Amino acid sequence: MSNSTQIGTEQMNTDQDNIVIRINQMHKWYGQFHVLKDINLDVTRGEKIVICGPSGSGKSTMIRCINRLEEHQKGDIIVDGTELTNDLKNIEAVRREVGMVFQHFNLFPHLTVLENCTLAPIWVRKTPRLEAEEIAMQYLERVKIPDQANKFPGQLSGGQQQRVAIARSLCMKPRIMLFDEPTSALDPEMIKEVLDVMIELASEGITMLCVTHEMGFAKTVADRVIFMDGGEIIEENVPQEFFDNPQHERTKLFLSQILNH
Amino acid sequence: MEKNNLSATGSTMKPDYVIGEHPDLPPPSNTIGPIAWIRDNLLSSPANIVMTILSIFFLYKILPPSLDWMFFDAAFVGEDRNACRAVADGACWAFISERFKLFTYGFYPIENRWRVDLSFVLLVIAVIPILFDKTPFRKYGLWFAMVFPFIAGWLLVGGFGLDPVPTEKFGGFMLTLVVGITGIAFSLPLGILLALGRQSNLPIIKVFCVSFIEFIRGVPLITLLFVASTMLSYFLPPGTNFDLLLRVLIMVTLFSAGYMAEVIRGGLQAIPKGQFEASDAMGLKYWPSMRLIVLPQALKISIPGIVNTFIGLYKDTTLVIIIGLLDPLGIGRASLSDTKWTGLSNEVYLFVALFFFVSCFAMSRYSLYLENKLQTEHRR
Ligand SMILES: Nc1ncnc2c1ncn2[C@@H]1O[C@H](COP(=O)(O)OP(=O)(O)OP(=O)(O)O)[C@@H](O)[C@H]1O
Ligand SMILES: [Mg+2]
DSSP summary character for residue B42: T
d(CA A115, CA A113): 5
Phi, psi of A245, deg, nearest 5: -140, 60
d(CA A4, CA A212): 41
| Residue of B355, B322, B347, B336 whose CA lies nearest to B180 | B355
Contact assessment for residue A169 and residue B283, using Cβ atoms and an 8 Å cutoff: no
- Within 10 angstroms of residue B219's Cβ, the number of other Cβ atoms is 13
Rounded (5°) CA angle A233-A238-A241: 100
Question: Does residue B377 belong to the interface with chain A, where contact is any CB pair within 8 Å?
Answer: yes
Distance from residue A181's CA to the centre of ligand 2 (Å):
7
d(CA A198, CA A82): 26
Q: Residue B377 — very low, low, confident or very high, per pLDDT cuts 50/70/90?
A: low
Average pLDDT, stretch B48-69? 92
- Indicate if ligand 1 lies below 6 Å from the C-beta of A57: yes
- Indicate if ligand 1 lies below 6 Å from the C-beta of A56: yes
Sign of the four-CA dihedral B140, B143, B148, B154: negative
Q: Which among B275, B280, B374 has CB closest to A108? A: B275
**What is the pLDDT at residue B2?**
46
Supply the ipTM of this predicted assembly: 0.90
Amino acid, single-letter form, for residue B320? V
Question: Does residue B35 belong to the interface with chain A, where contact is any CB pair within 8 Å?
Answer: no
User: Closest approach of chain A CAs to the CA of B16, in angstroms?
Assistant: 41
Percentage of chain A exceeding pLDDT 90? 86
Contact assessment for residue A62 and residue A35, using Cβ atoms and an 8 Å cutoff: no
Measured distance between the N- and C-terminal CA atoms of chain A, rounded to whole angstroms: 49
Q: Among A26, A27, A61, name the best residue to mutate to test ligand 1's pocket (greatest count of ligand atoms within 8 A of Cβ).
A: A61
**What is the pLDDT at residue B239?**
67
Report CB contact under 8 Å: A106, B277: yes
Average pLDDT, stretch A218-237? 94
Q: Which among A104, A154, A172 has CB closest to B282? A: A172
Q: Among A34, A51, A52, A57, name the best residue to mutate to test ligand 1's pocket (greatest count of ligand atoms within 8 A of Cβ).
A: A57
Mind listing the pLDDT tens digit for each residue in B113-166?
999 999 999 999 999 999 998 889 999 999 999 999 999 999 999 988 889 999
Q: Which of A123, A124, A177 to substitute to test the interface with B, most B CBs within 10 Å?
A: A123
Nearest residue (CA) to ligand 1, atom 7: A30
Secondary element (H or E) of residue B207: helix B203-218
Beta-bridged to residue A29, according to DSSP, are A34
| Residue of B123, B172, B176 whose CA lies nearest to B149 | B123
Residue A3 has pLDDT above 60, yes or no: no
A26-32: list long-range contacts, CB under 8 Å, 24+ apart. Answer: A26/A65, A26/A72, A26/A74, A26/A75, A26/A76, A26/A77, A27/A72, A27/A73, A27/A74, A27/A75, A28/A61, A28/A65, A28/A70, A28/A71, A28/A72, A28/A73, A28/A74, A29/A73
Q: Which atom of ligand 1 has the smallest separation from the CA of A70?
A: 1
- Indicate if ligand 1 lies below 6 Å from the C-beta of A168: no
Mind listing the pLDDT tens digit for each residue in B177-235?
999 999 999 999 999 999 999 999 999 999 999 999 999 999 999 888 888 777 777 77
Q: What is the pTM of this model?
A: 0.86
Q: What topology is assigned to B94-108+165-374 in CATH?
A: MetI-like fold (1.10.3720)
User: What DSSP string runs through A83-122?
Assistant: E-SS-HHHHHHHHHHEEEE-TT----TTS-HHHHHHHHHH
Residue B16 has pLDDT above 90, yes or no: no
Neighboring chain A residues of B292 at a CB cutoff of 8 Å: 119, 123
Neighboring chain A residues of B275 at a CB cutoff of 8 Å: 106, 108
Nearest residue (CA) to ligand 1, atom 1: A30
**What is the pLDDT at residue B90?**
86
The ranges assigned to domains in chain B are 22-72, 94-108+165-374
d(CA A222, CA A208): 9
B110-118: list long-range contacts, CB under 8 Å, 24+ apart. Answer: B112/B158, B112/B162, B112/B163, B112/B165, B115/B155, B115/B156, B115/B158, B115/B162, B115/B165, B116/B155, B116/B156, B116/B174, B118/B155
| Residue of B236, B250, B247, B133 whose CA lies nearest to B186 | B250
- DSSP H helical segments within chain A, as ranges? 7-18, 59-66, 88-97, 113-123, 129-142, 158-170, 188-202, 215-221, 239-244, 249-260
d(CA A80, CA A176): 9
- Report which bound ligand comes closest to the CA of A62: 1
Nearest residue (CA) to ligand 1, atom 27: A55
